């Protein structure tokens, strides 16, 4: 079954199989990354093969998990991508279960509430 959705920056997919013990992958800044409990490292194999696997989903094994840039509260029209990049710079990683509001609050605390 083909996955007709376009892959967007921040999308996390479980591909239904493991590569180096990991089945979840993050599409971030036009590059696939392993996505476990932490954003650990860039996927070192052929990027286009993984993209094709996600888009075509021939065996209906690929599952969209979430987009890390989705904003829960519409009143925060801030560039969440910038906030997530800042979070990763400060913390060295992004946990799969990190709450978007926690990222927003951290960013605002450091930047004095400026958005």
Per-residue pLDDT tens digits of the chain, which is 115 residues long: 555 578 988 888 999 998 888 898 888 888 898 887 655 578 889 999 999 999 998 888 999 988 776 644 444 445 777 788 888 877 888 887 788 888 888 887 776 654 4
> Has residue 2 been placed in a domain?
no
- Say if pTM beats, i.e. exceeds, 0.85: no
* CA angle, residues 31, 13, 33, in degrees to nearest 5: 30
Q: Are residues 25 and 62 in the same domain?
A: yes
With tokens 């992004």, the residue in question is 94
Q: Are residues 29 and 77 in the same domain?
A: no
Q: Are residues 90 and 57 in the same domain?
A: no
Domain containing 60: what range?
11-67
Q: Are residues 48 and 85 in the same domain?
A: no
For residues 101 and 48, give the distance between their C-alpha atoms in angstroms, rounded to a whole number. Answer: 33
With tokens 């920056």, the residue in question is 9
Q: Are residues 79 and 55 in the same domain?
A: no
> Has residue 105 been placed in a domain?
yes
């Amino acid at each position: 079954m083909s996955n007709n959705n376009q892959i967007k920056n921040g999308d996390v997919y479980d591909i239904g199989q493991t590569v180096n013990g990991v089945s979840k992958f993050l599409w971030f800044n036009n590059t696939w990354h392993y996505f476990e409990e932490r954003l650990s490292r860039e996927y070192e194999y052929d990027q286009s093969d993984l993209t094709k696997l996600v888009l075509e989903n021939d065996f209906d094994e690929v599952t969209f998990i979430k987009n890390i840039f989705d904003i829960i509260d519409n009143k925060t029209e801030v560039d969440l991508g910038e906030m997530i990049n800042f979070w990763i710079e400060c913390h060295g990683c992004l946990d799969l279960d990190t709450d978007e509001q926690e990222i927003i609050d951290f960013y605002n605390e450091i930047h004095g509430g400026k958005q």
